Amino acid sequence: MKKCPSCGHESEIPEIKCPACGNYYSKIIELIDEEAENEEKHSFRGRCKRILDSGNVKQQLANELRAIVAGLSKKAKFTLFIVFVFIFALVVSVL
């Protein structure tokens, strides 16, 4: 039996929102906040925000790039290497 933290209404049916007052149960709010924090931590927008908000942008950018590279597999690293070599070869051939 769930009890609403806002109004005290008790419900036997597992619901996300209280049927009496419409407020979300506290566990659901915690899960939503945790998911939003995780999204902010691992999203491109979150990374850019951390870089721009830091005092030393250059150092924070290096830290974020290290974190990204550390999360890549060997196959992904090799693929990026091939892409950069190909782009370098194209630039050199044009010059």
- Residues 37-79: pLDDT tens digits? 888 888 888 888 889 998 899 999 999 999 889 989 999 999 9
Nearest Cα neighbor of 20 from 7, 29, 31 is 7
13 pLDDT band (50/70/90 cuts)?
low
How many C-beta neighbours within 10 Å does residue 48 have? 12
Alpha-carbon distance values, 45 to 10, 31, 66 (Å): 40, 21, 17
Structure confidence at residue 26 (pLDDT): 64
Helices marked H in the chain — which ranges? 26-42, 44-53, 57-70, 74-94
pTM of the model: 0.50
- Structure confidence by residue, pLDDT tens digits, 16-35: 677 777 776 666 677 788 88
Residues β-bridged to residue 23: none
Domain residue spans of the chain: 1-41, 43-95
Q: What is the Cα–Cα distance from 50 to 19, expressed in whole angstroms? A: 39
Share of the chain above pLDDT 90, in %: 35
